[in-house]
Amino acid sequence: MNRQEILNKINNSPMYEYHIAEVPQRDGMLLFYLKEDLEGKSKINFYEKAVDLIYSAADIYDVTLVEWSKCRALSYYKKDGLVDIGLEDFDIFARKSPEKIRIDIVEFIFSIKALKTQDLEEIAHITCFEDLINYIVNLSYTEVVQTSGWYDQYDYEE
Protein backbone atom coordinates (compact mmCIF):
# COMPACT_ATOMS: atom_id res chain seq x y z
CA MET A 1 0.00 0.00 0.00
CA ASN A 2 1.22 3.51 -0.68
CA ARG A 3 1.11 6.36 1.83
CA GLN A 4 -2.16 7.92 0.60
CA GLU A 5 -3.95 4.57 0.51
CA ILE A 6 -2.98 3.95 4.14
CA LEU A 7 -4.22 7.40 5.23
CA ASN A 8 -7.50 6.90 3.33
CA LYS A 9 -7.99 3.46 4.91
CA ILE A 10 -7.57 4.88 8.42
CA ASN A 11 -9.61 8.05 7.89
CA ASN A 12 -12.52 6.36 6.10
CA SER A 13 -12.96 3.41 8.45
CA PRO A 14 -15.26 3.60 11.51
CA MET A 15 -13.03 0.99 13.23
CA TYR A 16 -10.28 3.53 13.96
CA GLU A 17 -10.51 5.86 16.98
CA TYR A 18 -8.44 8.56 15.29
CA HIS A 19 -7.83 10.51 12.11
CA ILE A 20 -4.57 11.40 10.38
CA ALA A 21 -4.15 14.55 8.29
CA GLU A 22 -1.13 15.19 6.11
CA VAL A 23 0.35 18.71 5.98
CA PRO A 24 2.04 18.95 2.56
CA GLN A 25 3.45 22.44 3.25
CA ARG A 26 5.51 20.91 6.06
CA ASP A 27 7.30 18.12 4.15
CA GLY A 28 4.67 15.48 4.81
CA MET A 29 4.11 16.22 8.50
CA LEU A 30 1.22 14.18 9.91
CA LEU A 31 -1.40 15.36 12.42
CA PHE A 32 -3.04 12.72 14.60
CA TYR A 33 -6.21 13.38 16.55
CA LEU A 34 -9.02 11.50 18.28
CA LYS A 35 -12.28 11.27 16.32
CA GLU A 36 -14.71 13.96 17.37
CA ASP A 37 -17.44 11.53 18.44
CA LEU A 38 -15.01 10.00 20.98
CA GLU A 39 -13.99 13.31 22.59
CA GLY A 40 -14.99 13.38 26.23
CA LYS A 41 -15.46 9.59 26.30
CA SER A 42 -11.83 8.50 26.28
CA LYS A 43 -10.20 7.36 29.51
CA ILE A 44 -6.71 8.31 28.27
CA ASN A 45 -4.68 10.60 30.52
CA PHE A 46 -3.84 13.09 27.77
CA TYR A 47 -1.44 15.13 29.91
CA GLU A 48 0.67 12.05 30.65
CA LYS A 49 0.58 10.98 26.99
CA ALA A 50 1.62 14.48 25.87
CA VAL A 51 4.74 14.30 28.02
CA ASP A 52 5.43 10.72 26.90
CA LEU A 53 5.21 11.71 23.25
CA ILE A 54 7.30 14.85 23.44
CA TYR A 55 10.06 13.21 25.53
CA SER A 56 10.18 9.82 23.83
CA ALA A 57 9.97 10.43 20.11
CA ALA A 58 12.29 13.07 18.73
CA ASP A 59 10.33 13.37 15.49
CA ILE A 60 7.28 14.73 17.33
CA TYR A 61 6.83 18.36 16.35
CA ASP A 62 4.29 19.32 19.01
CA VAL A 63 1.40 18.06 21.13
CA THR A 64 -1.60 20.32 21.67
CA LEU A 65 -4.26 19.93 24.35
CA VAL A 66 -7.40 22.03 23.98
CA GLU A 67 -9.19 22.28 27.32
CA TRP A 68 -12.65 23.38 26.20
CA SER A 69 -14.10 23.75 29.72
CA LYS A 70 -11.25 26.13 30.68
CA CYS A 71 -11.15 27.89 27.28
CA ARG A 72 -7.43 27.35 26.84
CA ALA A 73 -5.03 25.45 24.63
CA LEU A 74 -1.57 24.27 25.64
CA SER A 75 1.18 23.06 23.32
CA TYR A 76 4.12 20.92 24.34
CA TYR A 77 7.04 21.31 21.94
CA LYS A 78 10.79 21.02 21.71
CA LYS A 79 13.06 24.03 21.68
CA ASP A 80 16.84 23.83 21.77
CA GLY A 81 16.75 20.27 23.08
CA LEU A 82 14.34 21.11 25.91
CA VAL A 83 10.59 20.66 26.23
CA ASP A 84 8.50 23.82 26.54
CA ILE A 85 4.82 24.27 27.26
CA GLY A 86 3.20 27.26 25.63
CA LEU A 87 -0.24 28.79 25.88
CA GLU A 88 -1.86 28.92 22.43
CA ASP A 89 -4.42 31.38 21.09
CA PHE A 90 -7.67 29.68 22.14
CA ASP A 91 -9.67 31.83 19.71
CA ILE A 92 -8.23 29.87 16.78
CA PHE A 93 -9.90 26.71 18.12
CA ALA A 94 -13.05 28.49 19.32
CA ARG A 95 -13.76 29.92 15.86
CA LYS A 96 -13.60 26.43 14.34
CA SER A 97 -15.82 24.75 16.97
CA PRO A 98 -17.77 27.31 19.03
CA GLU A 99 -20.25 24.61 20.10
CA LYS A 100 -17.51 22.95 22.23
CA ILE A 101 -16.85 25.99 24.44
CA ARG A 102 -17.40 25.25 28.14
CA ILE A 103 -17.96 21.53 27.50
CA ASP A 104 -15.85 19.24 29.70
CA ILE A 105 -13.67 17.69 26.99
CA VAL A 106 -9.98 17.78 26.18
CA GLU A 107 -9.01 17.65 22.53
CA PHE A 108 -5.65 15.99 21.88
CA ILE A 109 -3.68 16.67 18.69
CA PHE A 110 -0.10 15.77 17.93
CA SER A 111 2.06 16.17 14.89
CA ILE A 112 5.00 14.12 13.80
CA LYS A 113 7.56 15.42 11.32
CA ALA A 114 7.84 12.30 9.21
CA LEU A 115 7.00 8.63 9.29
CA LYS A 116 8.35 5.98 7.01
CA THR A 117 5.79 4.10 4.91
CA GLN A 118 6.79 0.97 6.84
CA ASP A 119 5.74 2.64 10.11
CA LEU A 120 2.48 3.80 8.54
CA GLU A 121 1.79 0.23 7.44
CA GLU A 122 2.22 -0.87 11.07
CA ILE A 123 -0.03 1.95 12.25
CA ALA A 124 -2.71 0.79 9.78
CA HIS A 125 -3.13 -2.29 12.02
CA ILE A 126 -3.65 -0.17 15.17
CA THR A 127 -7.25 0.95 15.69
CA CYS A 128 -7.03 2.18 19.32
CA PHE A 129 -5.76 5.76 19.81
CA GLU A 130 -3.87 4.93 23.02
CA ASP A 131 -2.16 1.97 21.33
CA LEU A 132 -1.18 4.29 18.47
CA ILE A 133 0.39 6.75 20.92
CA ASN A 134 2.27 3.92 22.66
CA TYR A 135 3.55 2.65 19.30
CA ILE A 136 4.85 6.09 18.34
CA VAL A 137 6.42 6.62 21.78
CA ASN A 138 8.39 3.41 21.26
CA LEU A 139 9.67 4.29 17.79
CA SER A 140 13.41 4.74 17.60
CA TYR A 141 14.38 8.37 17.61
CA THR A 142 17.17 10.33 16.00
CA GLU A 143 17.54 13.41 18.22
CA VAL A 144 18.26 13.44 21.94
CA VAL A 145 15.98 15.53 24.12
CA GLN A 146 17.56 17.05 27.21
CA THR A 147 15.72 15.64 30.20
CA SER A 148 17.37 17.66 32.96
CA GLY A 149 14.95 20.18 34.39
CA TRP A 150 15.37 23.54 36.01
CA TYR A 151 16.15 21.86 39.34
CA ASP A 152 19.52 20.88 37.89
CA GLN A 153 20.15 24.35 36.50
CA TYR A 154 19.37 26.53 39.51
CA ASP A 155 20.43 26.38 43.14
CA TYR A 156 17.71 27.71 45.45
CA GLU A 157 19.57 27.04 48.69
CA GLU A 158 21.26 30.48 48.73
Share of the chain above pLDDT 70, in %: 87
Question: Per-residue pLDDT for 91 more than 90?
Answer: yes
Residue among 101, 102, 120, 97 at smallest CA distance from 36 = 97
- Which pLDDT score, from 0 to 100, does residue 40 have? 84
User: Taken in order 10, 141, 133, 70, is the CA torsion positive or negative?
Assistant: negative
The mean pLDDT of 25-52, rounded to a whole number, is: 89
The mean pLDDT of 99-117, rounded to a whole number, is: 90
Which helix H or strand E contains 99, and what residues bound it?
A: none
User: Taken in order 38, 7, 65, 88, is the CA torsion positive or negative?
Assistant: negative
Indicate the pLDDT class of residue 147, thresholds 50, 70 and 90: very low
Mean pLDDT of the chain: 85
